[in-house]
Structure 1
């Protein structure tokens, strides 16, 4: 079942069936870990967003909780299931739309936990309009600053979406801006 482009919001039952159908699918790209590398595979583009959230250990721990609760997604996006675990292998559907809806599936490919850094990496599944990887991280640096970062490497995958590539770039820029706002609000 494909819910890549759907007129009107899909039902929860539709999304559940889609999740089950995609759960065992391989990632839609081969360069796993590419969001951590500076070199970008041919045909992919890299976007980075970095935002200072505040200073100190308390801010760091609150920011980690925000990432663990999926606060990286702004309100105009819907997660299915609503509160999935941030754990390697978790599959999540991310819905968005206004009239024409899309449901994109990702898998948590890596979770990195340290005393001063937390990161969650999401990779796209075949049920996604893009192909690529996104790394969400919080770092508490030596200068006591807490920084939220999004490092994304992707390319448009779906042919209909390829026609609207400039609009995709606008949505990606809006997502990055609103993700920072959402994480700050969760603090």
Structure 2
């Protein structure tokens, strides 16, 4: 299945592509290497998303490039995506998925847990998106605030996982 946007992988870039709504949220979720490992594992196994809670159907138990993921919102809105990149190293763990046909939006969203030099651990959510169908375009102004709430909820869930 092909992506519904041309800028695949652009959540890795410093500047998001034009023509989309943009989201950038970074929140502290803990401190230390163990917090990074714990949060990273919750992110890579989709546990963070499942605790939000949203429905998550992934064709693999762990995030990897090419894995198809369908998120179900509000119990009935299906949002098919495919993971476009991942990172797992001593300081950064995360992935991004891009929208596939049938998703109400088109664009990309990334989730990265990072262990900084000052020992803080953060979650950064970056996204660019726009309505996939002309019928949905009047509702586009509602999407950025909802995405921001979703990103903040992700950070809150990871904070709870890191500090039970």
Counterparts in 2 of 1:1-187, with a 5 A limit? 25-73=1-49, 74-81=51-58, 84-97=61-74, 101-187=76-162
RMSD: 1.9
Write the distance in 2 (CA, Å) between the matches of 1:118 and 1:81.
18
CA radius of gyration, larger in: 1
Given the two structures, how large is their TM-score scaled by the length of structure 1? 0.78
Residue ranges of structure 2 left out of the alignment (5+ in a row): none
Question: Would the aligned equivalents of 1:71 and 1:179 in 2 still touch at CA under 8 Å?
Answer: no
Question: Would the aligned equivalents of 1:84 and 1:92 in 2 still touch at CA under 8 Å?
Answer: no
- Pairwise CA distance, 1:76: 3.9
Residue ranges of structure 1 left out of the alignment (5+ in a row): 1-24
Write the distance in 1 (CA, Å) between the matches of 2:85 and 2:59.
20
Q: Runs of 4 or more off by more than 4 Å in structure 1? A: none
Write the distance in 1 (CA, Å) between the matches of 2:124 and 2:92.
11
- Pairwise CA distance, 1:79: 0.9
- Pairwise CA distance, 1:56: 0.9
Q: How many residue pairs end up in the alignment?
A: 161
